[in-house]
A = this chain, B = another copy of it.
Amino acid sequence: MNGISQSDERDGFGPAAPTPGEVRSACRSGSFSGHTSGLAERHVQGNVVILPQALAADFLLFCQRNPKPCPLLAVGEPGDPALPTLGAGIDLRHDLPRYRVWRHGVLVDEPTDVAALWQDDFVGFVLGCSFSFEQALMDDGIPLRHVQRGLNVAMFRTSLPTAPAGPFTGPMVVTMRPLSAAHAIRAVQITSRYPSVHGAPVHLGDPALIGISDLSRPDYGDAVEVLPGEIPVFWACGVTPQAALVQAALPLVITHAPGAMLVTDLFNHQLAAF
């Protein structure tokens, strides 16, 4: 989804790239409810999970035990929708373009605001997203086919287990990007610098070794072909915690809607570990 022209969804913004604060204001006012890919470019966008404090410790532990699919950027205080380390004035109740509301593991609504659902015991989690490392890859001259084709990245459930914590468990979900060998090697170097947005790949080469039977049939997102001379390279994916949340069938959990991320004030390059 990254880097795609979506001018129809950006009508609320002027010709200049909006700042992160402008994107969040447009979400808050209801004037923007689209995909955030390519918006406020070079700024970190995050996956969002909101759940009751009683489950927060287990989810935090799940993230701690599975840092590659669940890289935590910030955790809020119970009942507090602010995330001051990610941006001035962030209010998780309003500042995403679109949310998903899950009850007992079932998607029941996709609202653009969750103020009416907010609880005094809600804890907000923001997890890193591959948009940040995709920008770093493209900046280095590594083409990404799904971006070139205007597609969502291909995602697959694997046979790689996560380390369970409380009710949270399930398989690791990965993204796949086909790369030449030289680009795959360079991509390992580049993404290794970004542990807080999934870091280095978890696999490359034969998909069957991680339980993927058919690269042309992703479990989420869109298929892209692997051309002769290319290697499929697999990164841990932020859909992993979402799948674990659905599987846990909690009474109530709120997440961002796919592609409708929290736009933060952080710059992608600030996440570079070296």
Binds B, one of A101-109, A185-193, A263-271: A185-193
- Residues of A45-89 contacting chain B, CB below 8 A: none
- Tell me if A209 counts as interface (CB < 8 A to partner B): yes
| A181, chain B: closest CB distance, angstroms | 5
Contacts of A188 in B (CB 8 A): 185, 188-189, 192, 200
| A230, chain B: closest CB distance, angstroms | 9
- Of B181, B204, B206, the residue contacting A185 (CB under 8 A) is B204
- Of B181, B203, B209, the residue contacting A205 (CB under 8 A) is B181
Prevailing SS type, chain A contact patch: mixed
- Of B185, B200, B203, the residue contacting A200 (CB under 8 A) is B185
Alpha-carbon distance A241/B181, docked complex (angstroms):
24
Copies of this polypeptide in the complex: 2
- Tell me if A201 counts as interface (CB < 8 A to partner B): yes
| A27, chain B: closest CB distance, angstroms | 37
- Tell me if A229 counts as interface (CB < 8 A to partner B): yes
Map CB proximity to B onto A178-212 as digits: 1 under 8 Å, 0 otherwise: 00011011001100100000001111111001000
Determine whether the beta carbon of A181 is less than 8 Å from that of B209.
Answer: yes
Determine whether the beta carbon of A204 is less than 8 Å from that of B184.
Answer: yes
- Tell me if A231 counts as interface (CB < 8 A to partner B): yes
Q: Which residues of A contact B (CB under 8 A)?
A: 181-182, 184-185, 188-189, 192, 200-206, 209, 229, 231, 274
* Besides A181-B204, A185-B188, A206-B229, 8 new A-B residue pairs in contact (Cβ under 8 A), listed by A number: A181-B209, A182-B202, A185-B202, A185-B204, A189-B200, A192-B192, A204-B204, A274-B274
Q: List 10 A-B residue pairs with CB atoms under 8 Å apart, sorted by A's residue number.
A: A181-B209, A185-B201, A185-B202, A188-B188, A188-B189, A188-B192, A189-B192, A192-B192, A206-B229, A274-B274
